[in-house]
Homo-oligomer: A and B are copies of this chain.
């Protein structure tokens, strides 16, 4: 998963499962003299279900040949009515990270980015509070403070949309404690990832650690998911848990949970950036995780 390889491409396909798709795709890549280095495929049902395919390949001079390659694939894609894309694996996605006051997920992402774990550019950090500005500044990343109140929600949304326009293709809600309005969700559909601090669908909504404490669960968790109009109901990308016991107060759950949140969010982002995540209705297919 090293992104430093040049000449490495990724082809992703979603279509109705039907005979010949696999053969057509691999035949195409062979004819283009692309060398398949990894291939994943999943079908919900071989009789008319949905087929998900992800192929990594090497091709000399990929950057220059990409437009032509894309054009040549179009007839194959049309034959099978594919949703599809081909891209240079070295091309970096552009992130906006939204935060409020809690900094552990932000800190974690900044460090991963600095040591090269996140194959992306962080275009900006956006917050409804000014608190985390000093954390972002040493990284030479723009920090935008956009206050949000109930009354200014829609104006704030417009500011967000303007800020991101043309500069961002993926939005990360790294403990951003505001509900996203619908135009943002629509614009960044399947490209906006939230970290929820519970093992969904347990403890939907506010104060999940308090809810977990009250219920007396023996494991707490976190969930990274794409944001949809339904709060905490979007497609789950990744989840993980940690064991806790009766000694843990709510603040202990929060402390333990911070580690789970950081890791779950980082994994989800990495998979998303590598095009390993496919939408299957309100669920995800995650290849190679």
A residues adjacent to B (C-beta < 8 A): 1-2, 19-20, 22-23, 25-27, 29-30, 33, 35-43, 46, 58, 103-104, 107-108, 111, 115, 117, 138, 199-203, 215-219, 221, 235-241, 243, 245-247, 249, 251-252, 255, 259, 263, 266, 280, 282-286, 288-289
Contacts and interface: CB of A to CB of B under 8 A. Distances in A.
Contacts of A26: 22-23, 25-27
- Copies of the polypeptide in the assembly: 4
Contacts of A37: 43, 46
Contact of A217 (B58, B236, B245): B236
Given A216-B282, A217-B239, A19 B35 contact: yes
A237 B217 CA distance: 8
A157 B286 CA distance: 47
Given A37-B43, A246-B280, 20 more contacts: A19-B30, A22-B26, A22-B36, A23-B23, A23-B29, A25-B26, A38-B43, A42-B247, A104-B115, A117-B255, A199-B219, A200-B202, A200-B217, A218-B238, A218-B239, A219-B239, A241-B241, A243-B243, A245-B289, A246-B286
Nearest to A37: B46
**What is the predominant secondary structure among interface residues of chain A facing chain B?**
mixed
Contacts of A38: 41-43, 247
A130 B263 CA distance: 29
Report the 4 A-B pairs with minimum CB-CB distance, sorted nearest first: A216-B283, A23-B30, A23-B26, A202-B202
Given A30-B19, A219-B241, A246-B283, A35 B46 contact: yes
23 contacts: A1-B247, A1-B252, A23-B30, A26-B27, A36-B46, A39-B40, A104-B111, A104-B115, A108-B111, A138-B138, A199-B219, A202-B202, A215-B282, A216-B236, A216-B283, A217-B239, A218-B237, A218-B238, A241-B241, A245-B289, A246-B283, A246-B284, A247-B288
B22 A46 contact: no
